[in-house]
Amino acid sequence: MSSPAVAQLRFINQIPVDTARTAVTTFSNWRPGILRPDLAGCKVRVTGKTPIYVIDSKGYRRLIPFPLTFMNLFKDHAVFQGVLVADGISDMAEGPALDDGAILVRGLYSEDIYLMDKGRRRLISAARVMDKYGFDEASVIVVPQILVDSLPMGEVWE
C-alpha cells in the first residue's frame, strides 16, 4: 500500500463514531425537512453514524462522500472540531450530495478558488467563506486557466 493510502486509513481510523470527542447538541424543536441556514458551514453527523454532512448557505445538509472527498476539501482537523452530532440531524432537509472526488481548483494566474462539483465550478466568494467551511487552501489544485474557464459556472458557494 502506498504511503498516501496508509495515511488515509490512519486518518479514517481516528474519526470517533461515538460522541465522546465531539460537540453534542439537541434539536428537539426541529421539523422534518427544515432548512438551517444559520448552521451554514457546519459539519454535522447523526449520533452513532459515520456519514458527515456539510450545511450549505441555504441550510441544506449535503453528504460529503468519505473519505476522499472530505480529504480533498477540508482540513484534517475539521472532522474533530466543530462536528455537531445529534439525532435531529436526520430531520434536516437534505440537498444533493457533493460529488465523490469533488475538489478545489484555481487557475494558474488567478486568485479565484472554485469548488468543482457536479461538473460545474462554484466560486468560493471570499477567504472568510474558505474559513467558514473549513476548506483547506493547501488542497487547492492549480490548473491552466483555460480548463477552469471551460467548465460551466454553478451557483456561488457562500
Q: In a 10 Å sphere around its CB, with 0-12 CB exposed, 13-18 middle and 19+ buried, how is residue 138 labelled? A: exposed
Query: Would you say residue 59 has pLDDT above 70?
Result: yes
pLDDT (mean) for 144-155 = 94
**DSSP string across 93-152:** -B-PPPPTT-EEEEETT---EEEEETTEEEEE--HHHHHHHTB-GGGPEEE-HHHHHHSP
- Cα→Cα distances 54→6, 78, 146, 149, Å: 25, 11, 30, 26
What is the residue extent of each domain of the chain?
A: 3-91, 103-150
Question: Are 157 and 122 contacting, i.e. CB atoms less than 8 angstroms apart?
Answer: yes
Whole-number pLDDT of residue 96: 92
Whole-number pLDDT of residue 7: 54
